[in-house]
Amino acid sequence: MKAARIREYKKPLVFEDIPIPDIQADEVLVKVQACGMCRSDVLLVDGFFQNYANIAPPVIPGHEITGTIHKIGSVIPKAAGLSEGDHVVVAPGWGDGVCRHCQVGNTHICPNVRWPGFGTYGGFAEYIPVPARYVIKVANHLKFEELAPLTDAGLTPYRGIKKIRDAGGLGPDRVVGVFGIGGLGTYAVQYAQLLGAGATVVAFARNPDKLAIAKQYGADHLVDIKGKSASDVGKELKKATGQNKLDAIIDCAGAPEMMQLGFALLAISGHYADVGFVGDRIDVPLFPRVSGEQTFHGSFWGNNADLSEVMALAAKGKIKHTIKTIGFDQINEYLDMLRAGDIVGRAVVSFGSSADRPTAQRAELAAKS
Ligand SMILES: [Zn+2]
């Protein structure tokens, strides 16, 4: 099969023909149809995760995976309802299944977790073996290019907002802020509306183009924070919503300066959910957290149940996407663009035929031929 592999860290991926992997009795072989490109693929290629785990090359990156079932392991029960040809997404975060986190369904925070795309097999190849309990069947009419990013970019903010919702932080009389309108933020704005129980949704960013996308995806108000103090931003917020504080924040960036702004704007009994980790540490005053009984939620990726819910929303046509479909041979080029921050929305590697590609690209191809 075709595979794009890390042979050496900090070098471009190497395109190779390698054997189609065997599967274990409890696995399925997924024929990859599309795989999203994530900022963490760049971190992986650049050797960032070597600080935390020794992942020995060759490594196939790519963890936003969707495709079709090609082969089914021998011990997978009929009750699993899986057949060859089924369209599936791959739930990330494969736990050991026995620890207390796995037992309550949070396999993605298992101490023995494994991730597709961070080892021998990943989505930048034609096939990947996946434990059968980590594939979720999806409706055939959904586009692979749109499904792929929903397994990370479109999943991670969903879990973060669910945490705020489950803690009682949302309602018609509340204002929720979405911080950072990148790959994750465009989905976060939509989920803030879908799960917000009538809360007012305000998008915060320092780039007018990104704010325009937030507006398009349902933000009630936009605040351009570039060069503004917390008190200026608070005044602008008050003008827009009638209050100068935020009852909840979903932070998709985790950038230190923006987090300091967020904590300065957080209301009494406010909830701050962070799914981003662009920065490493923050310096914020403690007294307002204690006296205002505020809550900070760390929220990481998502579990199988979260992804199933996201798929239900997708099946109902309730999620909008900004996707750039690319070919397998363009992976290195787009990793460079991702590293430079030059991609708006999500780049998705498509293994489909040219007929499956968006109209604009078909026109481009037709012009070339
Ligand atoms: Zn576990």
pLDDT at 192: 98
pLDDT at 250: 98
Ligand 1 centroid vs 114 CA: distance in angstroms? 10
| Two tokens, residue 93 | 């975060």
Which amino acid appears at position 143 of this protein? K
* Percent residues over pLDDT 90 in the chain: 86
Ligand 1 centroid vs 94 CA: distance in angstroms? 8
Ligand 1 centroid vs 104 CA: distance in angstroms? 9
**256-268: average pLDDT:** 97
Grade residue 90 by pLDDT with cuts at 50, 70 and 90. very high
**76-101: average pLDDT:** 96
Ligand 1 centroid vs 190 CA: distance in angstroms? 31
pLDDT at 368: 39
Ligand 1 centroid vs 217 CA: distance in angstroms? 36
**Spacing of C-alpha 204 from chain mean position:** 19
Distance, CA of 191 to CA of 158 (rounded, Å): 6
Grade residue 340 by pLDDT with cuts at 50, 70 and 90. confident
Grade residue 357 by pLDDT with cuts at 50, 70 and 90. very low
Looking at the chain, which runs of residues are DSSP E strands?
2-5, 14-17, 27-36, 64-72, 87-90, 127-131, 135-137, 175-179, 200-205, 221-224, 246-251, 266-274, 295-298, 323-326, 346-350
Which amino acid appears at position 330 of this protein? Q
Grade residue 279 by pLDDT with cuts at 50, 70 and 90. confident
Ligand 1 centroid vs 53 CA: distance in angstroms? 17
Ligand 1 centroid vs 57 CA: distance in angstroms? 25
pLDDT at 122: 98
Residues facing residue 3 across a β-bridge: 16, 125
Q: What is the CA radius of gyration of the chain?
A: 21
Distances (CA, A) of 176 to 122, 160, 219, 224, 272: 36, 12, 10, 16, 10
Distance, CA of 179 to CA of 255 (rounded, Å): 9
| Two tokens, residue 292 | 């205002």
Nearest to 95 by CA among 78, 77, 109, 107: 107
**284-301: average pLDDT:** 97
Ligand 1 centroid vs 92 CA: distance in angstroms? 13
Ligand 1 centroid vs 115 CA: distance in angstroms? 13
Ligand 1 centroid vs 102 CA: distance in angstroms? 4
pLDDT at 342: 78
Ligand 1 centroid vs 93 CA: distance in angstroms? 10
Distances (CA, A) of 296 to 126, 188, 251, 290, 293: 40, 17, 11, 11, 10
pTM (two decimals)? 0.92
Grade residue 317 by pLDDT with cuts at 50, 70 and 90. very high
Ligand 1 centroid vs 185 CA: distance in angstroms? 29
pLDDT at 106: 98
Grade residue 230 by pLDDT with cuts at 50, 70 and 90. very high
**246-259: average pLDDT:** 95
Question: Do 125 and 2 form a contact (C-beta atoms < 8 A)?
Answer: yes
Distances (CA, A) of 291 to 16, 229, 247, 267, 268: 58, 23, 15, 11, 8
pLDDT at 280: 82
Question: Do 178 and 67 form a contact (C-beta atoms < 8 A)?
Answer: no
**254-279: average pLDDT:** 95
Q: Is 100 left (phi over 0), alpha (psi -120 to 50) or beta?
A: alpha
Distance, CA of 181 to CA of 212 (rounded, Å): 10
**pLDDT value at 358 more than 60:** no
Sort strands 64-72 and 27-36 into parallel, antiparallel or unpaired: antiparallel
Q: Which residues contact 143 (CB under 8 A, 6 or more apart)?
A: 356
pLDDT at 277: 83
Distance, CA of 101 to CA of 122 (rounded, Å): 24
Ligand 1 centroid vs 110 CA: distance in angstroms? 4
- Work out the mean pLDDT of the chain and round it to a whole number: 93
How does pLDDT run across 142-186, given as a tens digit for each residue?
999 999 999 999 999 999 999 999 999 999 999 999 999 888 999
Ligand 1 centroid vs 275 CA: distance in angstroms? 21
Distance, CA of 132 to CA of 97 (rounded, Å): 13
pLDDT at 322: 87
pLDDT at 39: 86
Determine the Cα angle at 184 with ends 106 and 285, to 5°. Answer: 80
Q: Which residues contact 77 (CB under 8 A, 6 or more apart)?
A: none
What DSSP character marks residue 9? T
Q: 146 or 366: whose pLDDT is higher? A: 146
